[in-house]
Amino acid sequence: MISGDYQTEVDFAEAAKYWKLEKLYIDLSSAKGRGLTPLEKKLLQGLLCGYSPAEIALMIYKNPSSSVVRVYLSNGLYKYIKELLISQTGKAVKLKNWSRVTKLLATAGYKKDYDSSLQVIDTSRLRNHTNSNFTPVSHQNQDWEEKIELKFFFGRNDELSQLTKWVVDDRCRLVAVLGMGGLGKTALAVKLTEKIKGEFEFIIWRSLRGKPPIDDFLANLIQSLSPKQAVDLPNHTEAKISRLMSLLRSHRYLLMFNQFEEVLSSGGQAGFYEDGYQGYGELLRRLGQEQHSSCCLLTSREKPREIFLLEDEHLLVRSLQISGLNPKEAIELLTNQGLVGSDKEKGLLVNLYANNPLAIKMIAITIKNLFNRKITDFLANNTIILSNIRELLDEHFNRLSNLEQLVMYNLAVNHKLIELWGLSKELRLDISPRQQLEALESLQRRSLIESNSSAF
């Protein structure tokens, strides 16, 4: 028997609100062969509220690394839950990760039916279900403001694996996919969403391209997740966020915000908001800091300030900076465009355009139209054609502050790595060390420069 001094006053009240606790206690006690202990009940309540074992340990033992919680779960509750589900279904159940507990128990009927339109749909049952009343997850439980069709998707296996681990296994609350335009952030997010949709009760995809005011944006999210909660919404932004957070705590939702850079300001340091859009920062802060069961995934050309400040394993806030495809993937994309050339020529061409998927697709069109699909003839011109992606580059450049534009220009013409502390002298810039660091950090958050140790 394991013992430990735990905080009895810790109250996971929402477990009783949304789950059939008494029935669950009785059935788990039967699977165990005797009654659950008070600590086992407390741990079960924490899991049902969406807290990870580390978070539960921090709340009841004031120590996120407490082994008591881990041992109690592995040697106790997880076994009882598996025995319970086997007795109900006659099939063995794998419970390798705490994040599956709520989904399995909800599917088994232990979750109260507060809003039937938002109940968990077990995809394993759907595959073999012939009842026409069952609506697939991809239709009933998803709300896409824009639907991006993926005709071709190349590579990004490492990125998909990393994001899946963060969202599904680690149960991160806030994840950002960052990178300059044309790299395929949106396509990656769509692919990830398709891959992990079965892990969530409801998925909402929203684009910030039109810069929706934060109050309208929040009202739209709440209306989509629970029309009942959208009645008599409070006037203040903070109160609307609180109502949304309540929904995110009681259910497992995936919120996807595409093109988040649209609400960020230009002409100053990266990551800050346009006037009137600071509420988006408060939304991200609370999504990252507060306990909840859901996940917000966003794509952006710039790292929002809140991601920069909150990014930490314990806070479950992460960001993934993507760059060009790896050479093999880039050549595969180029080959798919129908161009003619040797592997060496294809390698030279994709390297010329930094393995950027959009740039590769655009230059492929030029080679088709002007060089009869022959990469050899294009390379013989010994030039780089940027006209097709100049608009994209201009969008990035026009968002920079005057100092950032000056630094970018000098870095571009220098054609070599520059040591951090020799930057001002090397580039002949009359700026202070503070200005230098602020400009470099801002450019890095904008995904426009990469650091290599202490050089750029």
Q: What is the DSSP string of 313-339?
A: TTTTEEEEE--SPPHHHHHHHHHHTT-
C-alpha 183 chain-centroid distance: 16
Q: Is the dihedral of CA 171, 84, 251, 14 positive or negative?
A: negative
**Residue 97 Cα distances to 79, 153, 158, 168, 202, angstroms:** 12, 29, 21, 9, 21
**For residue 274, is it within any domain?**
yes
Same domain for 292 and 173: yes
Burial class (CB in 10 A: 0-12, 13-18, 19+), 163: buried
**For residue 115, is it within any domain?**
no
Query: Measured between alpha carbons, how far is 439 from 433 in angstroms, rounded to an integer?
Result: 10
DSSP string computed for 377-394: HHHHT-----GGGHHHHH
From 360, 37, 408, 392, select the one nearest 179 (Cα to Cα). 392
SS3 annotation, 112-162? CCCCHHHCCCCHHHHHHCCCCCCCCHHHHCEEECCCCCCCCCCCCHHHHHH
| Contacts with 203 (C-beta within 8 Å, 6 or more apart), sequence order | 141, 142, 143, 144, 193, 197, 253, 254, 256
Helix, coil or strand: residue 254: strand
| Residue 114 backbone phi and psi in degrees, to 5 | -75, -35
**Residue with the two structure tokens 């595959």:** 127
Same domain for 313 and 210: yes
**For residue 135, is it within any domain?**
no
**For residue 123, is it within any domain?**
no
pLDDT score, position 417: 53
| Residue 243 backbone phi and psi in degrees, to 5 | -65, -40
**For residue 159, is it within any domain?**
yes
| Contacts with 5 (C-beta within 8 Å, 6 or more apart), sequence order | 61
Domain limits for position 95: 13-108
Same domain for 334 and 315: no
Number of independent structural domains in the chain? 4
Same domain for 428 and 387: no
Same domain for 235 and 305: yes
pLDDT score, position 160: 93
**Residue 50 Cα distances to 69, 173, 216, 435, angstroms:** 15, 11, 28, 43
Beta carbons of 12 and 45 less than 8 angstroms apart: yes
Beta carbons of 175 and 320 less than 8 angstroms apart: yes
| Contacts with 287 (C-beta within 8 Å, 6 or more apart), sequence order | 173, 174, 245, 248, 255, 296
CATH code of the domain in which 279 resides = 3.40.50.300
Same domain for 196 and 181: yes
Query: Measured between alpha carbons, how far is 317 from 173 in angstroms, rounded to an integer?
Result: 6
From 238, 244, 250, select the one nearest 206 (Cα to Cα). 244
Structure-token pair, residue 348: 């030279």
Question: What order of strands is seen across the sheet that includes strand 142-144?
Answer: 142-144, 202-207, 253-258, 295-300, 174-178, 317-321
The domain boundary, picked from 372, 391, 410, lies at 391
Same domain for 74 and 57: yes
**For residue 167, is it within any domain?**
yes
**For residue 337, is it within any domain?**
yes
Structure-token pair, residue 368: 């088709």
Same domain for 228 and 303: yes
Same domain for 355 and 262: no
Give, for all 456 residues of the chain, the pLDDT tens digit.
344 454 545 667 778 888 888 999 999 998 888 988 888 888 888 888 877 787 787 777 766 555 678 787 888 899 999 999 898 888 887 776 777 788 888 888 888 764 433 333 333 332 333 333 323 334 446 777 666 666 667 778 899 999 999 999 899 999 999 988 888 899 999 999 988 988 888 899 999 988 899 999 999 999 888 888 877 788 899 999 999 999 998 889 999 999 999 998 877 777 688 889 999 999 999 999 998 989 999 999 889 989 988 987 667 999 999 988 888 888 888 888 888 888 899 999 988 888 888 888 888 888 888 888 899 988 888 777 666 667 777 777 777 877 777 777 766 666 555 555 555 555 566 667 677 777 777 777 776 776 654 444
Same domain for 338 and 234: no
Element (H, E) at 279: helix 279-289
Structure-token pair, residue 254: 């995936």
The domain boundary, picked from 368, 391, 414, lies at 391
Beta carbons of 349 and 363 less than 8 angstroms apart: yes
Structure-token pair, residue 402: 């005057």
Same domain for 166 and 82: no
pLDDT score, position 281: 94
**For residue 410, is it within any domain?**
yes
Same domain for 265 and 203: yes
Cβ neighbour number for residue 119 with a 10 Å cutoff: 18
From 231, 300, 289, select the one nearest 264 (Cα to Cα). 300
